[in-house]
Amino acid sequence: MITFFISCSSDDNNIDQELLLGQWFEIDKCQEQNYLVLNQDGSYIRRRSNNSTCEVNEYFTIELTGNFSISGDNINFNEESSEIIDNPSGNQIDSSLQVILSSKVKSISQNYLEIEIIIKHFEPGTSDIIWLYQFEK
């Protein structure tokens, strides 16, 4: 009698880390101020502003750094630093660390990345903030 053991596993919810690594630019935003870099060593740099073009710089730019890890289709960001790197209005900006409740890769391909991030909203009686970021290489 011959017995065969067949092992099946499903990677449907796992992210191809090779696709994920590299520099991603937020779609329809100034690329110099809106990008995400995911490094092979697990570190990341996230630069963010609301400026849609680089010619008109009306919003502040913040740079976030830290480490990330992958679990299933979740991408967990461990934010270690937050710094305002450009503030054209001169207004005082709170650059304290955000509390990320969850972050999930909704879609990924060679040239497209979509991440949903839910951030804790600290104002009483308000819902948490859900941001959907779309990036391209």
63-97 pLDDT, tens digit each: 999 999 999 999 999 989 988 888 877 777 665 65
Domain borders along the chain are 17-136
Q: Of all helices (H) and strands (E), which one includes residue 17?
A: helix 17-20
Q: What predicted TM-score, i.e. pTM, was given to this entire model?
A: 0.81
CATH class of 17-136: mainly beta
Q: What pLDDT is attached to residue 115?
A: 96
Within a 10 A sphere around the Cβ of 130, how many other Cβ atoms?
12
Mean pLDDT check: name the lowest of 59-63, 74-78, 94-98, 132-136. Answer: 94-98
Q: What is the mean pLDDT of residues 100-104?
A: 90
pLDDT-derived band at 5, boundaries 50, 70, 90? very low
Contact between residue 60 and residue 86 where contact means Cβ atoms under 8 Å apart: yes
113-124 pLDDT, tens digit each: 999 999 887 778
What does the angle CA 42 – CA 65 – CA 22 come to, to the nearest 5 degrees?
Answer: 50
Contact between residue 118 and residue 91 where contact means Cβ atoms under 8 Å apart: no
Q: What pLDDT is attached to residue 126?
A: 81
Q: What is the mean pLDDT of residues 101-128?
A: 90
Q: What pLDDT is attached to residue 13?
A: 47
8-45 pLDDT, tens digit each: 333 444 788 899 999 999 999 999 999 999 999 999 99
Amino acid sitting at position 79: E
Q: What pLDDT is attached to residue 11?
A: 45
Q: What pLDDT is attached to residue 1?
A: 40
Q: Alpha-carbon distance 72 to 115, whole Å? A: 14
Going by their DSSP bridges, the two strands 112-119 and 74-86 should be labelled as unpaired
